[in-house]
A and B are shown apart, each in its own frame.
Chain A
């Protein structure tokens, strides 16, 4: 169990205080923790459980229920390929397959050099410019396979 030595825990603690250490604020706290750490590790979850006086099992249960939360550290860049219906019928599956081949990883995995994490999403609501990917919080639309690979090389270089 980590003591509050890491200043990032202070940020989370402050957020919890602001929310009155309410158990119902668990999701909000998890969002903030993920933003702060980039992912949710066991120590962070235990810290939140203790502070909110909630069982660890409950915190772990909520953190694993929602697709938004990740318990694994992410690479330097994250690439989310949207697999919503509109993107799907416009070839997002092929784009994802091409990315998997190019970087030799499967979706949800990170490259060995920790440079890129490949993720998928169930619709990010940018259907009018499908197919769409989000790289480091920036959205790119109307993609082709070649354009996607080109864009990624550019971002990684």
Chain B
């Protein structure tokens, strides 16, 4: 049990002392992407090879979270404690293990597979949320503590009042990272102000948006950061219970979060009387069931309560009537993971990163026809050009860029004329798309935009819960209409109908799913109308 900041620091120092005896470390990325290429086998074999050479006292092998450049996995980095030097190796396969260990024995670099960390992919990133990803062992709470983890929580519990915490978050200008962009401080304040014996903090880890995997990587790489943010949120809103709702499709993330909760409970960082401060807080994990609509706030709450994930009318808002009818804060994984850094460095510090209305950094999942697929964290306000061409390395296979899709099935496509657009909540909105949770899909010239719009509409159709008519019937009819365009059998009247129906579904659906489902259609009509017109038969 840790009861004070002093004891926490002692533990951190103790862990650091242990570390000091280790001269080198081999950090194997055990994020989902690398694991599917055999990273866990590589980790095991590296351990055996190191032991066979009798190097285990000098060099330790540890599994770490995603280092970002998933395109070139499996990534293994070699860290030297004396010089703090870190060499990154890419595309490591089982056959490389012996040679890699041999080069470590000879104190040389394994030059064959060195990854240049001076390339723009690495140098243009600003890592706040992902600061520990690729560095600490997500399975080890002590590693997190040794890197300064939970110190902010202890400081908050002992030195601050809930109002101070809320004020700091308000100053920071942090906005919800799930896509909506609602100011987090304001959300907390409204729950804080409601009088109730029981309040809840819910963390939304139901990353249903196809093409996005930021929250997954974050939960896998640094689960304790999410917990720390949640506990601070609990303290600020005077809630005593938290739930993390995670997709069942993310088994590794579930395992990491569950282990983190167990470790935190054991040290008294979760449970009754956290750090002898008189504050109680505990967290439970709830598994999702693969329903996209459960990303919607009221549907998610229904799902945690053990019901079908049907959304309901708002108001009442969750801040008044949330989980089991009690005031509830619902925040995205990435939002909560920002909290420890904000409280540690101050709201003013955070405000200076990014743009005046969109502060801080954002994690993006770069996928599609792009060279450097993977996970990047960049300051808000960076341009699409920088993100796609400098960090992302441009379009793959030498093809030309056609559009960039953000916001998943609720978002839209940005054509190339807006490449110099700043990436922030408001600029993206002005061109007809949304920030979304951070999936960024790069589309090259070979793709057909009507087919893409159809793909998203078909997705929304199957994801619709069926409760309200505009969404249930509307998405089906829109899918059928789009099929006519793909078959090149549409009429001019269909085009008018497509536009009108989109507007009706957008304006009359009950929840966010239906209200945003036509966005991919409307945005592709706006910028790629000619492709729709090609689908109209001439007669």
Contacts and interface: CB of A to CB of B under 8 A. Distances in A.
A139 B32 contact: yes
Nearest to A88: B455
B289 A26 contact: no
Contact of B441 (A69, A86, A132, A138): A86
B32 A68 contact: no
B367 A130 contact: yes
A89 interface: yes
Interface residues of B, number: 56
A126 B33 contact: yes
Contacts of B303: 27
A129 B373 contact: yes
Interface in B427-481: 439, 441, 443, 447, 452, 455-456, 459, 462-463, 465
A84 B210 contact: yes
Interface string A77-116: 0000001111011100000000000000000000000000
A67 B291 contact: yes
Contact of A126 (B209, B213, B405): B213
Nearest to B285: A28
Nearest to A59: B306
Interface size, A (range): 35 or more
A145 interface: no
Contact of B209 (A89, A123, A130, A132): A123
A114 to B, nearest CB: 24
A31 interface: yes
A28 B441 contact: no
B211 A24 contact: no
Given A65-B289, A85-B405, A90-B368, A128 B213 contact: yes
Contacts of B286: 27-28
* Interface-centre pick from A25, A28, A84 (highest chain B CB count, 10 A): A84
Interface string A112-138: 000000000111111111101000011
Contacts of A31: 248, 287, 289
B308 interface: yes
Contacts of A90: 368-369
B146 interface: no
B477 to A, nearest CB: 21
Contacts of B456: 85
B292 A122 contact: yes
Interface in B300-320: 303-309
A26 B302 CA distance: 12
A121 B405 CA distance: 20
Contacts of B334: none
Contact of A86 (B207, B250, B367, B465): B367
Given A66-B309, A68-B290, A89-B368, A123 B373 contact: no
Contact of A127 (B247, B288, B373, B452): B373
A11 interface: no
Contact of B368 (A24, A65, A86): A86
19 contacts: A24-B306, A26-B306, A27-B287, A27-B289, A65-B309, A84-B211, A85-B210, A85-B368, A85-B405, A86-B210, A86-B211, A121-B290, A123-B249, A127-B439, A128-B213, A129-B33, A138-B36, A139-B35, A141-B37
> Closest 7 A-B residue pairs measured CB to CB?
A66-B289, A128-B70, A139-B36, A84-B210, A123-B210, A85-B211, A86-B367
